Chains A and B, each alone.
Chain A
Amino acid sequence: MSKVVVVTSGKGGVGKTTTSASISTGLALKGYKVAVIDFDVGLRNLDLIMGCERRVVYDFVNVVQGEASLKQALIKDKRVPSLFILAASQTRDKDALTKEGVGKVIEDLKADGFDYIVCDSPAGIEKGAQLALYFADEAIIVTNPEVSSVRDSDRILGILQAKSKRAEEGEDPIVEHLVITRYNPARVEAGEMLSVDDVIDLLSVPFLGVIPESEQVLNASNSGLPVILETESDAAEAYEDVVARFLGEEREQRFLTEEKKGLFKKLFGR
């Protein structure tokens, strides 16, 4: 059974693309056949984060408009065998995607035997974001512990519950998951940042985990590596946990508290 998973947030710059790249890579590492689609038409970035920007010949819009076949446009990942990327168009405008066209591509991917189709949503709550979530079976809500991000997540939840295909056709609702990214435990402890419990309380969405604020995310994106593949990185381990929990595994939460520095470290630095 194929599953369509949208990674969405309302607000921009919260970590959707970072999360889409790492979760799709993580699912493929578990042996699933995964396609990750960049819905951010005009502002494509997923190809850069996945490190395949120089191999994009045809994109999602070309396929939707019948100018290329899915086979021609899907880019096979160089590191993980069962992972494929469908890049967004750099040049077209947002209206180049239609509901029918996107629906057809998703149907074709299902028929091709993809287990997971991960949709990296553009920012906003308008047409582009609505199209990215329309066909979803599950949603990963990416939220930063910050007022405008929480508010926008709540608005996108409203759209998931009212304007998705599942909602319109009266099927079971989209299964929602919360991922809190760019989490800074020290600032939470200082009372300067909303805590995980605060955000869960406010949004009431089942929680997959936190991704700590980490320099490794920038390093990874510099080299075109999904951060989950970065060795010895908190962010990589956090994404690995999130993927496992998404697949139903029970794992204790980590990275919620600041690593306490011992007296020695306090006195002599690191």
Chain B
Amino acid sequence: MALLDYFLGQKKKKSANVAKDRLQILLAHERSARHSPSYLPKMREEILQVIAKYVDIDPEQLSLSVDEANGVDVLELNLVLPD
């Protein structure tokens, strides 16, 4: 039985590990949202409006965040353009 469990365990990821992975991603996301400047949502809207004048985009595809890297705050904008 133990041997069988061992092989099954190899195949199927333990649910606690899945929980931890999901939480790691979620908490990182929620923490950065907590620490991001309050103007960010409005700025995101305005940037979207400007881009939409030129390209037909899916608003969901725009990610905008302020991160700290090497002691400076960096505004990161990521957008996948349609084909």
Contact = CB atoms under 8 A, between A and B. Distances in A.
A177 interface: no
Interface in B29-70: 30-31, 34
Interface stretch (A31-39, A193-201, A257-265): A193-201
Given A194-B20, A198-B20, A202-B20, A151 B26 contact: yes
Given A154-B30, A155-B30, A193 B16 contact: yes
A52 interface: no
Consensus secondary structure, chain B interface = helix
Contacts of A192: 14-16
A191 interface: yes
A9 B69 CA distance: 31
Nearest to A145: B16
A260 B19 CA distance: 26
B27 A202 contact: yes
A13 interface: no
Contact of A188 (B16, B22, B31): B16
A151 B17 CA distance: 15
Interface residues of A, number: 18
Interface residues of B, number: 15
A193 B16 CA distance: 5
A90 to B, nearest CB: 35
B24 interface: yes
A149 to B, nearest CB: 10
| Candidate in B22, B24, B27 with the most chain A CB atoms within 10 angstroms | B27
Interface in B8-26: 9, 14-17, 19-20, 22-24, 26
B31 A195 contact: no
Interface in A170-209: 188, 190-195, 198, 201-202
A147 B16 CA distance: 9
A216 B34 CA distance: 39
A11 to B, nearest CB: 14
Given A147-B22, A151-B23, A202-B24, A191 B16 contact: yes
A132 B7 CA distance: 49
A188 B16 CA distance: 8
Interface of A: 146-147, 150-151, 154-155, 158, 162, 188, 190-195, 198, 201-202
